[in-house]
A and B are shown apart, each in its own frame.
Chain A
Amino acid sequence: SQQGEEDPQALSIQEGENATMNCSYKTSINNLQWYRQNSGRGLVHLILIRSNEREKHSGRLRVTLDTSKKSSSLLITASRAADTASYFCATPEYGNKLVFGAGTILRVKS
């Protein structure tokens, strides 16, 4: 089952532009996490936002969470070619596993 659904499926931008990805989920959550995956590699944790938080920053990343709309967004500012990757949101289900969305493929052109 997939809890989170990312939007858009793919995004192509120029270096220096901002990239925004959205995630919607279905059930109540304790937290929501964003991960990055470079092609064929392992997933790297980016940021975790708890259900009582509305916004969180980490470097060039900004995550928002709207529990009333069951949605989250990930903003990458001043994107770089190295940001090219797939981005996944994930939510814990029954506290024992992370359920991932289908991901957004981001391509940053230099």
Chain B
Amino acid sequence: DSGVTQTPKHLITATGQRVTLRCSPRSGDLSVYWYQQSLDQGLQFLIQYYNGEERAKGNILERFSAQQFPDLHSELNLSSLELGDSALYFCASSVDLGAMNTEAFFGQGTRLTVV
């Protein structure tokens, strides 16, 4: 158990809908990262938050947004969903501002299926 909790584990929704994925980082970790894993794109970095502030942005679509709350949990919002958004979405946390010196701890992921 990594200590990172993601909910829900599975999500099936229709095209055009909006979903929210939730992540609780390990106790004490201030950084939260979101990744998308699909068969054709591999593991893609989406966005990072540190102590409530956005710190880095990757290949995140404009239809996607995220935030980190004062209690450090984070939510990833995916809207106007398309079939191609079907993927595993991972949240990871680390104690550092970045991954310079420490490892990241990953949750078990949310498997999103858009039908």
Contacts and interface: CB of A to CB of B under 8 A. Distances in A.
Interface stretch (B14-22, B61-69, B75-83, B94-102): B94-102
Give the size category of B's interface with A: 20 to 34
A101 B2 CA distance: 21
Contacts of A2: 42
Given A35-B106, A42-B109, 5 more contacts: A40-B88, A97-B33, A97-B45, A98-B45, A100-B35
Contacts of A11: none
B67 to A, nearest CB: 17
Nearest to B46: A97
A44 B92 CA distance: 10
Nearest to A95: B98
A33 B43 CA distance: 14
Contacts of A102: 42
Contacts of A35: 106
Interface residues of A, number: 25
A30 B103 CA distance: 12
Contacts, number: 71
A95 B33 CA distance: 13
A89 to B, nearest CB: 11
A4 to B, nearest CB: 10
A17 B109 CA distance: 31
Interface of A: 2, 30-31, 33, 35, 40-45, 48, 88, 90, 92, 94-103
Nearest to B111: A40
Interface in B22-75: 33, 35, 42-43, 45, 48, 55-56, 58
A96 B90 CA distance: 16
A42 B106 contact: yes
Contact of B55 (A30, A41, A96): A96
A95 B107 CA distance: 21
A59 to B, nearest CB: 16
A98 B99 CA distance: 6
A63 B97 CA distance: 25
